[in-house]
């Protein structure tokens, strides 16, 4: 899903995957605990980044947002080839980075710099800031000693520091100033592209905006392109032209900033936006929070990875249910999975979960069976029956979503990986292998649920 129209992309990322091996083992990936040998551990690859595609146009800032552990840093490092991709391609100025190694890759790296979250630990405390800024120039054989010193002083001034501080040590600077030193250091080799990994997260809120403004000024002056990672949507809103939202290793939505904030299409994006603290303390700060645990990237859910927490899971077409009945079924299935209530008897379970709306027909029969298991304390049986009969039959489980919709703000393309938008889509991804094997019965026939989020 290339993000932009018109201009040449500086960076093109295609179907990029990065898996971390968690060992294999002789027993087919199963290991045993030494202290508690009855405990088995399933090992497999951590699918940190899976099939990610996007473009970044020259001169723009793409904001990358998502909860901790969703794969933002791994994606950034894999794009820069600091980590070897498992598969997929990264084209920088039209050149496939995967085809480079050794000296040509090292030379290319000059054009692609990275700034990290913690300005403290990324600066060597034993070095003065002048030599710190000069270090990358030295490594790439740029200028002579005098030239490097002059450029370092000039850059210190450009990033908002006093060039007289050339001989100071990092500890003499505040957090914001240290991040400015990092900026000067990254700029020293005249890069085209800078990956900024949570560059202001460790700074006081009052300092964040100042550093972000400097970054924007530098972008203009030096014709820079940024991939800007943050978990804080207000920071993303401040700096980005377009925004990409990541969940459990995959892109779920990419759109123009205004489009993403004003017309979000993915329930995960909406949940993130709802979780932004609001300024009025009387409203309770946060309006809604994401519930449920993030599944393991070792064994992510089929279809849409967000479906196990999604407030808008689509009802399987084969069941005749009202929205309220379906909402109760989903809530019950998740509660059983979490074992989040005490087992009592059938009537109490019904009263607790289906007082206002209980489905009849085939769904009602299955539900009755599941409630019977719960009342008998047979949690596993209940969980299996509910998952197989309901959650796994949703199109959200059987088909991987990939759609493009028409934007209502701006010109950029709007990608949304959610089946809820399929009726409005101008383009859709191909049916996956999973869909054709598991979901044949449901493909093309599932109904779009109207559960509100």
Ligand X SMILES: Nc1ncnc2c1ncn2[C@@H]1O[C@H](COP(=O)(O)OP(=O)(O)OP(=O)(O)O)[C@@H](O)[C@H]1O
- Residues contributing to the site for ligand X (CB under 6 A): 20, 46, 48, 66, 68-74, 231, 297
| DSSP 3-state of 232 | coil
At its nearest, how many Å lie between ligand X and the CB of residue 77? 8
Closer to ligand X at the Cβ: 48 or 186?
48
Q: Tell me how far CA of residue 312 lies from CA of 281, 337, 394, 424, in angstroms.
A: 28, 18, 11, 17
At its nearest, how many Å lie between ligand X and the CB of residue 284? 26
Q: Are strands 193-197 and 225-229 parallel, antiparallel or unpaired?
A: parallel
In eight-state DSSP terms, residue 36 is S
- What is the spatial distance between Cα 213 and Cα 216, in angstroms, rounded to a whole number? 5
Closer to ligand X at the Cβ: 51 or 387?
51
Closer to ligand X at the Cβ: 63 or 66?
66
Exposure class string for 272-285: b at 16+ Cβ within 10 A, else e: bbeeeeeeeeeeee
Both structure tokens of 32? 């045993």
- C-beta separation of 373 from 385 below 8 A: yes
| DSSP 3-state of 399 | coil
At its nearest, how many Å lie between ligand X and the CB of residue 47? 8
Both structure tokens of 307? 């479906």
The alpha carbon of residue 218 and the mean position of all alpha carbons in its chain are separated, in whole angstroms, by 26
Q: Tell me how far CA of residue 313 lies from CA of 170, 243, 298, 446, in angstroms.
A: 51, 24, 22, 12
At its nearest, how many Å lie between ligand X and the CB of residue 46? 4
Closer to ligand X at the Cβ: 295 or 372?
295
At its nearest, how many Å lie between ligand X and the CB of residue 85? 13
At its nearest, how many Å lie between ligand X and the CB of residue 315? 31
Closer to ligand X at the Cβ: 67 or 154?
67
Closer to ligand X at the Cβ: 48 or 386?
48
Closer to ligand X at the Cβ: 68 or 206?
68
- What is the spatial distance between Cα 302 and Cα 434, in angstroms, rounded to a whole number? 8
At its nearest, how many Å lie between ligand X and the CB of residue 41? 15
């Amino acid at each position: 899903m290339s993000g932009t129209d018109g201009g040449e992309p500086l960076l093109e990322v295609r179907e990029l995957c990065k898996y971390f091996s968690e060992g294999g083992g002789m027993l087919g990936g199963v290991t045993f605990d030494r202290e508690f040998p009855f405990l088995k551990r399933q090992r497999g690859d951590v699918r940190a980044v899976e099939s990610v595609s996007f473009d970044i146009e020259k001169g723009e800032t793409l904001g990358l947002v998502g909860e901790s552990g969703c794969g933002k840093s791994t994606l950034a490092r894999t794009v820069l080839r600091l980590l070897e991709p498992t598969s997929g391609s990264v084209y920088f100025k039209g050149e496939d980075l995967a085809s480079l190694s050794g000296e040509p890759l090292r030379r290319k790296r000059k054009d692609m710099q990275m700034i990290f979250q913690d300005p403290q630990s990324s600066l060597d405390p034993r070095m003065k800031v002048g030599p710190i800024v000069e270090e990358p120039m030295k490594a790439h054989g740029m200028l002579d000693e005098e030239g490097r010193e002059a450029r370092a002083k000039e850059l210190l001034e450009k990033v908002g520091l006093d060039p007289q501080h050339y001989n100071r040590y990092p500890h003499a600077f505040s957090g914001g100033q240290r991040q400015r030193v990092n900026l000067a250091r990254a700029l020293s080799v005249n890069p085209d592209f800078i990956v900024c990994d949570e560059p202001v997260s460790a700074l006081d809120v009052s300092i964040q905006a100042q550093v972000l403004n400097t970054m924007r000024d530098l972008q203009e002056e030096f014709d820079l392109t940024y991939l800007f990672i943050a978990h804080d949507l207000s920071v993303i809103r401040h700096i980005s032209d377009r925004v990409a939202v990541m969940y459990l290793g995959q892109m779920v939505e990419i759109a123009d900033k205004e489009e993403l904030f004003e017309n979000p299409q993915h329930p995960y994006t909406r949940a993130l936006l709802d979780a932004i603290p609001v300024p009025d303390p009387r409203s309770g700060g946060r309006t809604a929070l994401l519930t449920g645990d993030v599944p393991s990237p070792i064994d992510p859910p089929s279809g849409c990875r967000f479906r196990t927490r999604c407030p808008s899971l689509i009802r399987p077409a084969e069941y005749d249910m009202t929205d309220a009945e379906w909402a109760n079924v989903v809530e019950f299935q998740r509660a059983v999975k979490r074992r989040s209530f005490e087992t009592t008897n059938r009537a109490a379970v019904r009263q607790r979960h289906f007082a206002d709306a209980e489905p009849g027909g085939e769904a009602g029969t299955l539900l009755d069976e599941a409630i019977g298991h719960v009342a008998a304390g047979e949690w596993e049986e209940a969980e299996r029956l509910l998952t197989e009969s309901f959650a796994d039959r949703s199109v959200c489980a059987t088909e991987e979503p990939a759609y493009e919709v028409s934007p209502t703000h701006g010109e950029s393309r709007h990608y949304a990986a959610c089946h809820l938008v399929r009726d409005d889509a101008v383009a859709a991804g191909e049916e996956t292998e999973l869909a054709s094997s598991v979901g044949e019965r449901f493909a093309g026939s599932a109904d779009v649920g109207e559960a509100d989020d």
